[in-house]
Amino acid sequence: MDASRPTVRRARVVGATVTYADRSASCRATVEAMLGEGVDHVVVIDNGSAPSSSSALETLRDAHPGVITLCRRPRNDGSAPAFSAALAEARRAGADLVWLLDDDNLPVPGALTALRRREQALRDAGRSVCAVAPTRSATAEPDVVARAIADDSAREPVRDAVAFAGVDTRVFVRRLLERTGLRRPRPARSSSLQSAPYGGLLIGSDVVQAIGAPDESFVLYGDDLEYTSRIPAAGGRLELVPEAVVVDPRGDRWMPPGFEVLAMFRSRNDALLYYFLRNRVVRELRSGPRWTTARVVNAGLFVVLCGACLVLTRRGDKARVILHAVRDGVTGRLGRRREL
């Protein structure tokens, strides 16, 4: 036995996922992968799936009697209410640890073991309020995984406490210098995270009790980041585990990759754009003083960037969605404002 590795305590691990639309095939693969990783039970929240998918999920549940809990919701209420329900059902199923995955996530073998080891090490070090997150890679190919790990270590996060709509002038300038070759990316000095997605998150039932449930008024987008940011805000530790890899194919993107403000103007789903941006602004304004000088400067840069992108794309319709989202974000007007 490797003495440098902590002994993983015996614990009941419950996997949990949320599915919707016509995604039963990918959900089945995710559930079977969780079972293959050794979870004791799986909770599936059927978030308003199509009838054929709901039927397929019932067949999957029946193929694993007593192992899968399937809960059907009549419509897609968004990720926040659905993952809130998933966490509650996992705790009702007796979870000591809950492992959340999106319905198209596939853990690379050994991912759960790596996450559990690190979670145990944090607890052994006195961090009772903690959670761990994996590397998310587009495929399981070694070179793609290595690139994802390198990107995670080199990416300087936007500082939510001063940012506005994802714009942080300091980070913006540094990334611009890196892309033009005038500055080398600097690896992160710590594996500590300020927030993390639901996909792959391993969290203790006691931590869920301590930080509460996801804010259902976010509906979707950013609810996971707001939720997990409560861990460091409570003095706990949220940590990336690079060797734990979850394949996240990311599918058909509603917003293209690249420069984010321009991508908003080129996005293909106004409802998702609205929730994405509104919730980001709300989360940022909650994470620090609302209108510091730095925040005002970042808001001004965001307005300038939006103006440039409007001229470039001539998408006044997107500008109106962005304005609506920002206005509601600043005033804290949450809840379901657009149909999914």
Q: Tell me: the pLDDT tens digits for 262-311?
A: 999 999 999 999 999 999 999 999 998 999 999 999 999 999 999 999 99
Phi and psi at 330, nearest 5°, equal -65, -40
Contacting residues for 297 by C-beta, under 8 A, at least 6 apart? 169
pLDDT digits (tens, 9 = 90+) for 241-250: 999 999 998 7
pLDDT digits (tens, 9 = 90+) for 180-209: 877 777 666 668 999 999 999 999 999 999
pLDDT of residue 4 exceeding 80: no
pLDDT of residue 6 exceeding 60: no
pLDDT digits (tens, 9 = 90+) for 218-255: 999 999 999 999 999 999 999 999 999 999 987 668 99
Share of the chain above pLDDT 70, in %: 95
CB 247 within 8 A of CB 205: no
CB 326 within 8 A of CB 281: yes
Helix ranges (H only) for 130-259 are 142-154, 169-179, 205-211, 223-233
Pairwise pLDDT comparison (84 vs 186), residue with the higher score: 84
CB 197 within 8 A of CB 225: yes
Q: Indicate the burial class of 49 (C-beta count within 10 angstroms; 0-12, 13-18, 19 or more).
A: buried
H/E run at residue 270: helix 270-286
| Mean pLDDT, all residues of the chain | 93
Contacting residues for 121 by C-beta, under 8 A, at least 6 apart? 6
Contacting residues for 52 by C-beta, under 8 A, at least 6 apart? 22, 24
Residue with tokens 């080199």: 154
Contacting residues for 87 by C-beta, under 8 A, at least 6 apart? 16, 98, 100, 208, 213, 214
